[in-house]
Structure 1
């Protein structure tokens, strides 16, 4: 039996029926805001879906036959244009299963850099706007979505994760839970990569080792720790010595071993990373195992550094990479 019919399109009798019904199941695309545009969905600067190349590298890829590959390529090519310089997620099919509510999507990266989605908070809402389920998906093990590419990705909301299970006939819409600016500002010293105690510890360390200097903006690596799934976690202190709040949007990190060889080179893209005037902020950056270029690295022999930060127009600060082929990460 077709793997796609058995696992993704169980309500359809054939791949041809799936092909015919693609447009009926298509949902509205939502964007993650990496371009910095307030309302990217309103932008007219778009890229045709066929200009993106489709990447099939899920754990199910080697189980698909030629007809199934062709179906996913057809569905991808039928998607509407995506906003340029954005990362969009467009649901193209939903399925009620015994385990939960399955949403099939294409994650489309229309930027000129690869992007690694770390933690993606999503919710399911009814047509009336009622939220019935909310879940944060950990996508770091999926690896980066390459520049100008599209990847099929499934999101499963299990029934025990629902606040209220609606009737089977009630259509649900997948939405992105965008961080609230006031929440980010009020809790700017903490992030999902560190516990509260760790955040306090590193903030104290930053104050002692890298005191704020009036008029200077600086980023300093405080520590390198073991990360999830054999990756690395790099702790960085953001230091803002200016009399105004700054926003950092990009941070490239390079990790070397004792011989000076490059162990990892990763480009992180941030959203709502604000540092108040004359203050510190600490952040943990997860480097996935897939981005580590050397085998059997010794954590004690690693060093990490960040190219110099440059201030942006409109009171924003940007860390501009000095290296090529960096990878991106959304916190």
Structure 2
């Protein structure tokens, strides 16, 4: 990562010149709409950037102190963030051999830790043409603490472009807000293949959301890459109000009742609209699997309990799937 930082404002002779260059490179912040308010970018209820804690995780925690201080300085120069929102603020772009790189801060101005699932982002020309679209999986990025900010890079590879612009064309980052069909939320989280999505849609069409019932159910489990296990969980909200699910404990047992895996995921700010549902895939890493040599087809997955904000009544199911597609 430091090879990028070496080129950032390094030739400037004073912090004031650096500050001017920072503001010249800033883009418009994108908001994910977690607050539920319309047009959050127009809100005047904002939190100064300096009041957010800058957290350097992953490849960013290996930076030299001077480079880390530069990242904190850039962050402090950002405009205030909308309260109770999660924003993505691009602050630097670069054309690389692999693709178009956008460096951002993901700023969490809510009072809860936030775990993102998938971010559908685009690159847009000054004329408004979308030249690249990509869904970035964010589960491995980990949680973003309350009132904190984390740097994050998004790389659009050249073979992912629908139309290659001229090298000098400035591109801006866009957020494709998920489009909903009637009564249906976006399938989110880990990778769910198209044939699996179609299968689940058919199953849900035959079993619609029940009035007054909140349902958290494991739909299936499947062997995934690197010895991990993928578990698909259905969240259904039959109430007249929006719900926030905060915890998803998952237990997998074999046919003898022995525990194969026991994990718990924190999903604060994961909301389901009234009379609606969401489906999220969770990937249990191989390091969390307690028993080896077990056939997934002989296993049962349970959701023993979960936490819901405002303590609404809950009903939890378990299922014993034999693969995803029957």
TM-score (norm 2): 0.74
Count of aligned residue pairs for this structure pair:
300
Q: Deviations over 1:63-97 (max 9, x none)?
A: x2111111011011111111111110001111122
Q: Deviations over 1:195-250 (max 9, x none)?
A: 45545655677799x897665443333445556666654433455667x8x75543
Is residue 254 from structure 1 mapped to residue 249 from structure 2 by the alignment?
Answer: yes
C-alpha contact (below 8 Å) 1:84/1:110 kept by paired residues: yes
Structure 1 stretch displaced more, 148-157 or 250-259: 250-259
Give 5+ residue unaligned stretches, structure 1: 320-331
Q: Distance in 1 between matches of 2:163 and 2:215?
A: 47
Structure 1 stretch displaced more, 21-30 or 111-120: 111-120
Q: Provide the residue aligned with 1:178 in structure 2.
A: 177
Q: Provide the residue aligned with 1:137 in structure 2.
A: 136
Q: 1:156 to 1:309 in 2, by over 3 A?
A: closer
Q: 1:271 to 1:231 in 2, by over 3 A?
A: farther
Is residue 283 from structure 1 mapped to residue 279 from structure 2 by the alignment?
Answer: yes
Query: Matched residue of 2:156: which SS?
Result: strand
Q: Distance in 2 between matches of 1:225 and 1:144?
A: 25
Q: Provide the residue aligned with 1:93 in structure 2.
A: 92
Structure 1 stretch displaced more, 212-221 or 170-179: 212-221
Structure 1 stretch displaced more, 266-275 or 97-106: 266-275
C-alpha contact (below 8 Å) 2:108/2:148 kept by paired residues: yes
TM-score (norm 1): 0.73
Deviation, 1:170, is: 2.3
Q: Provide the residue aligned with 1:75 in structure 2.
A: 74
Deviation, 1:40, is: 0.7
Q: Distance in 2 between matches of 1:206 and 1:130?
A: 36
Q: Distance in 2 between matches of 1:128 and 1:207?
A: 41
Query: Matched residue of 2:68: which SS?
Result: helix
Give 5+ residue unaligned stretches, structure 2: 253-257, 315-326
Deviation, 1:124, is: 1.0
Deviation, 1:157, is: 1.7
Q: Provide the residue aligned with 1:34 in structure 2.
A: 34
C-alpha contact (below 8 Å) 2:213/2:237 kept by paired residues: yes
Q: Provide the residue aligned with 1:297 in structure 2.
A: 290
Deviation, 1:176, is: 0.6
C-alpha contact (below 8 Å) 1:109/1:148 kept by paired residues: yes
